[in-house]
Amino acid sequence: LVASLEQVEQTYIMVKPDGVQRGLVGEIISRFERKGFKLTGLKLFQCPKELAEEHYKDLKTKSFYPTLIDYITSGPVVCMVWEGVGVVASARKLIGSTNPLQAEPGTIRGDLAVQTGRNVVHGSDSPENGKRETALWFKEGELCEWTPAQAPWLM
């Protein structure tokens, strides 16, 4: 029942500025909590342009890149790290498709958004990027390793 350490993944989840402005922070955190993943990092943060550019460097050649950087730096974001077995792929499922109109009902984007350019939340797309993005957005002392008391009931 206890997961071995190498099975445990880390994913970087971020409520984007529209999610914060619309008061969806609690709703989004709740979905990950209720699923049973473990929160190990959490902060409200005004993202500087340089960090947004580093985070989205793979999209640099896309036509929407400048708009995306403006969007992500337009107001505070909520940065989170969630841990668990299979958390990276599962979080992407909970979030839903990039275009909220194509996202299934029941997913965060499917329930709460309509525009790709305002799709309320980000989630890492691979375990490698989960680690990379966690290191990019959080300093080591900001993360918290802990054992949830109710863990045996979830496993």
Q: Which residue is nearest to ligand RTP (CB)?
A: 98
Stretch of 33-41, 45-53, 111-119, 138-146 contacting ligand RTP, by CB under 6 A = 111-119
3-state SS class at 131: helix
Contacts of 10 (CB under 8 A, 6+ apart): 40, 81, 82, 83, 87, 88, 127, 130, 131, 134
Query: Binding to ligand RTP (CB under 6 A): which residues in 77-106?
Result: 98
The CA R_g of the chain, rounded to the nearest whole Å, is 15
List the one residue from 46, 50, 64, 93 that touches ligand RTP (CB under 6 A): 64
Q: Does 30 bind ligand RTP (CB under 6 A)?
A: no
List the one residue from 119, 130, 133, 138 that touches ligand RTP (CB under 6 A): 119
Q: Does 116 bind ligand RTP (CB under 6 A)?
A: yes
Q: Are 15 and 82 in contact (CB under 8 A)?
A: no
Q: Does 69 bind ligand RTP (CB under 6 A)?
A: no
Which stretches of the chain are assigned E, i.e. beta strand?
A: 8-15, 38-45, 77-85, 121-123
Q: Which residue, 19 or 123, has its beta carbon nearer to ligand RTP?
A: 123
Report the nearest approach of ligand RTP to the CB of residue 69 (Å): 10
DSSP-derived secondary structure for 81-97: EEEEETHHHHHHHHH--
Tokens of 90: 């599962």
Stretch of 25-33, 83-91, 115-123, 145-153 contacting ligand RTP, by CB under 6 A = 115-123
